[in-house]
Chain A
Amino acid sequence: MRLLKTYTKTLLVALTIFIGLQSRSYADGGFPVRPGRLLLAPSVGYFFANSAWDTTGSPAKRYLNNGKYSSVGVTFYGEYGISRKFAAVLSLPYVYNMYNQNVAPTSTTSNGLTDLETGIRYYLANIDYIYYFSLQGTAITPMYHNNAALGYGEEGGELKLAVSGSGNLFDRSIYFNASDGFRQYFGTNGPWQNRYSATFGITVDQEFQNQISVTGTGIFSQSTDKTFSPVLEANKDYSFFELSLNYGHTFTDEISVFATAGKFLTGYNTSAGTIFSLAFVYRLDYK
């Protein structure tokens, strides 16, 4: 019973991370943010998994007792252009996690706000006004106490370098974002993580109303605690790579919607899950 419970909680931690890491191809890149522009992007995501990779990364195995994890997450993401060089960034996820299996307890749930991320993005440089580089510092603040199902419960910090570019290919507008960030959780045995993401997008019509993009996202998490246990809760070492397909539609200059479907392709010590999300993007100019 205890084993099952902790097993469940661990997986919920994992999916909480996944929900928080859902692809944001509409933001989060190297492009600077226009001064006075507020970008609000509430999103809803659904993650589910019924198998996991073990510590060796061998092929994913089904959960015991036909177990299935699912989670619905609502994330509020915002950016505001403070000046030409600086932008403020905020992300606050709320999750509702469920684990179901065919033995008692058949259902376990947890919910709540997870890690608040607040950051400052700095516009570093550009190359020929095509490739833009930014550096972002982010503070991680847990919005919960003693609830391992919602996260590590530790404060942390992240430094991320991002590059974005745009151009034309086959008479279509294209863009890309690539970022790599190093995150350190400050608690005991708090893991350090390399979080990376790359997106390539292309418009599918001349009016720039519709675009598709593909995103590769991953986390490589390591901790000084190298001990591996069947109880995954104890692990802070894990890795995964997710590939997602995104579709964006622009209704007006101010309103867009992005739909994403992603699949976890490789990893170790993590769930092999699938994620769907929908983000509404509002751009409001105050200058």
Chain B
Amino acid sequence: MTNFSKKFIIIFCLVLVVCGLRRAAAQKQAADTSKKAGRVILSMNPENPDTVFTANAYFTVNLLSTFPTDKSGTLSYVITGAGGKKVKAESQHVKLTSTCPIGYPFSIPVLHSGRYKIGFTLALSGYQDTISNTFIIKGQEERPDSAIIMSLSPHSSDGIFATNAAYTLNVSSTFPSAQKATLSYLVTTEAGKKVRADSIHVSVASRGTASYDFNIPPVQPGFYKISFMVNNEFYTDTLRKAFGIKPQLVHSQHGKPADFEAFWQRAKTELAKVKPEYKVTEIANCRDNRRVFEVEMKSLDGLLIRGFLTEPKTHNKGKKFAVLLGLPGYQVPLGPMYGTDPDIAIFTLNIRGSGYSRDVINVRRESYIVLNLEDKNRYVLRGAIMDCVRAVDFIFSRPELRHDNIIAAGGSLGGFLALATCGVDPRISFCSAANPILCDVRNLPHEVDWPLIDINLYIKTRPELTMDKVMDNLDYFDGKNFASDIKCKTLVGMGMVDNIAPPDHVYAAYNDLNTDKHIIIFRDLAHEIGRWYNVYEGRWMRDTFALF
């Protein structure tokens, strides 16, 4: 090699090194700038958690900006149908206040029945992000001009009866002439097995009203669906309700695994080996009554999870706050929660793969509940429950928080997480579980669509996996199995016509609680709770924590 060649190679290498260094420096600077600039955390809440709508779909897009200044831009959606064909699109102007979460509701125009994909895109100056989901439109029945309208008056305020259920069915006709019709009822188990049925023939006067009493013959203790139907040659309608008979006697026939507690003790031991590496950053706050902190910490398997802690501002330096640990519903992001309570700090947790903790696990909505379901030691909810325990660890690391006054609360998956966390972590002093899913899982098949539909799809993609194996694994993630280990006061909320957390499942867990407990039943609600639940929760919690 000539000297010229050697010099050329050396110069070429130097140029590469210099360019590489400059590029690396530029990338670092860009990264730093990006970090300083902030981001917007997007999340989406379908109004119906199962994303099945009758005609109009409703979504709320939540935006949490960590930019130091206010931003504005557009938030748009595109809906695609079969074959990726664009069906609808719309955009609206948005304004983001620094670290102040804001929700934008979207009412999607009526669509034909079918499966759709919706993608929301946030576009700000120099920043863009997208989030998507799928949903189903089932279609709406067309109603005739004239109708026989039914309304039901159960002879029990909460739909619970001692022996036999009783109802008064009120009918009013808008037909211009008298109508002969058949009024009937059908009682089935939650799984759809026919239990009782009867019918009467009536004549309803022109634009008249009438009331009929129905006393359902006694049935076994448990929960039942009841449908009242009106039929004649011009009109058919059905009214669906549910009732319970002696629910205190409802128990699952399935026990919990002998090594249930050992399984979770091993998980906690594994978690204890992971250094939490808490990173607490106070962030600008759009409201002046609370301090807001973004919390990052390492949980099981070293995964980074995030939460937000808000604390009331106080001049009392010795003040210690009771803590509400807010646990998320299914794929629901939890931003900072504010409120005006001067006694309560609120720590909202985003479990792995959910909300703002999707750095490693970032799967589609329908895939989350089945992620690694074939292995109970790798199942996503094992880590998620340990994330909740890590959140309690974090609370215990904060001297300004009362370690003996912690309430774990959530709804749906959050309700399940509340039961599970309180079952494995005795440091929590109050449990509030609204509509907890995944209770008495072995009886879920034939009673709920979700998550069985996703579990069945998952099984189909794994020839070695069977429903029996899934159930064997889910035994370790059954709300009722955690319930018997809970030592703290527990409040449970339940919707009588809940098709995701059916009442017999929730009650099976409730009856396994061996502690001071209370259940509030909402007779006419599905997968939701009424305001009274929150009022009662607040009052019971304040009494428990002596926050008079």
Q: List residues of chain A with CB under 8 Å of any chain B CB.
A: 31-35, 37, 81, 84, 126, 128-130, 253, 284-287
CA distance A240 to B542 in the complex (A): 38
CA distance A107 to B205 in the complex (A): 86
Chain A residues lying within 8 Å of B319, measured Cβ to Cβ, are 285
B540 at the interface (CB under 8 A from A): yes
CA distance A252 to B418 in the complex (A): 34
Chain B residues lying within 8 Å of A34, measured Cβ to Cβ, are 546-548
B536 A129 Cβ-Cβ under 8 A = yes
Q: A128-B539, A286-B318 are in contact. List 5 more A-B contacts (CB 8 A).
A: A31-B548, A84-B546, A126-B543, A129-B539, A284-B316
A32's partner among B316, B320, B546 (CB-CB below 8 A) is: B546
Instruction: Give B429 Cβ to nearest chain A Cβ, in Å.
Output: 13
CA distance A38 to B402 in the complex (A): 19
11 of the cross-chain contacts (CB-CB < 8 Å) are: A31-B548, A32-B546, A32-B548, A34-B548, A81-B548, A126-B543, A129-B542, A253-B342, A284-B316, A285-B319, A287-B320
CA distance A253 to B546 in the complex (A): 17
Q: Mark B75-96, 1 if CB is under 8 A from A, else 0.
A: 0000000000000000000000
CA distance A127 to B318 in the complex (A): 32
Chain B residues lying within 8 Å of A284, measured Cβ to Cβ, are 316
The total of interchain contacts (Cβ-Cβ below 8 angstroms) comes to 27
CA distance A287 to B548 in the complex (A): 13
CA distance A253 to B319 in the complex (A): 13
Instruction: Give A56 Cβ to nearest chain B Cβ, in Å.
Output: 45
CA distance A253 to B344 in the complex (A): 14
Chain B residues lying within 8 Å of A81, measured Cβ to Cβ, are 546, 548
B539 A35 Cβ-Cβ under 8 A = no
Chain A residues lying within 8 Å of B320, measured Cβ to Cβ, are 287
Chain B residues lying within 8 Å of A130, measured Cβ to Cβ, are 539
B546 A35 Cβ-Cβ under 8 A = yes
**Which 10 A-B residue pairs are closest in the complex by CB-CB distance?**
A129-B539, A84-B546, A32-B548, A34-B548, A253-B342, A129-B543, A35-B546, A129-B540, A31-B548, A34-B546
Most buried by A among B319, B539, B546: B546
Instruction: Give A237 Cβ to nearest chain B Cβ, in Å.
Output: 38
CA distance A97 to B525 in the complex (A): 64
CA distance A35 to B402 in the complex (A): 14
Instruction: Give B437 Cβ to nearest chain A Cβ, in Å.
Output: 27
Chain B residues lying within 8 Å of A32, measured Cβ to Cβ, are 546, 548
Chain B residues lying within 8 Å of A31, measured Cβ to Cβ, are 548
Chain A residues lying within 8 Å of B539, measured Cβ to Cβ, are 128-130
Chain B residues lying within 8 Å of A285, measured Cβ to Cβ, are 316, 319
Chain B residues lying within 8 Å of A84, measured Cβ to Cβ, are 546
Chain B residues lying within 8 Å of A286, measured Cβ to Cβ, are 318
Chain B residues lying within 8 Å of A287, measured Cβ to Cβ, are 320
From B543, which residue of chain A is reached at the shortest CB distance?
A129
Instruction: Give A102 Cβ to nearest chain B Cβ, in Å.
Output: 53
Chain B residues lying within 8 Å of A37, measured Cβ to Cβ, are 548
CA distance A81 to B546 in the complex (A): 10
Q: Mark B326-343, 1 if CB is under 8 A from A, else 0.
A: 000000000000000010
CA distance A126 to B319 in the complex (A): 27
Instruction: Give B288 Cβ to nearest chain A Cβ, in Å.
Output: 14
Most buried by A among B320, B540, B547, B548: B548
CA distance A216 to B318 in the complex (A): 39
CA distance A38 to B224 in the complex (A): 53
CA distance A284 to B314 in the complex (A): 12
CA distance A253 to B316 in the complex (A): 11
From A286, which residue of chain B is reached at the shortest CB distance?
B318
CA distance A37 to B548 in the complex (A): 10
From A284, which residue of chain B is reached at the shortest CB distance?
B316
CA distance A18 to B548 in the complex (A): 30
Instruction: Give B132 Cβ to nearest chain A Cβ, in Å.
Output: 39
From B537, which residue of chain A is reached at the shortest CB distance?
A129
From B539, which residue of chain A is reached at the shortest CB distance?
A129
Instruction: Give B136 Cβ to nearest chain A Cβ, in Å.
Output: 39
B548 A33 Cβ-Cβ under 8 A = yes
From A129, which residue of chain B is reached at the shortest CB distance?
B539
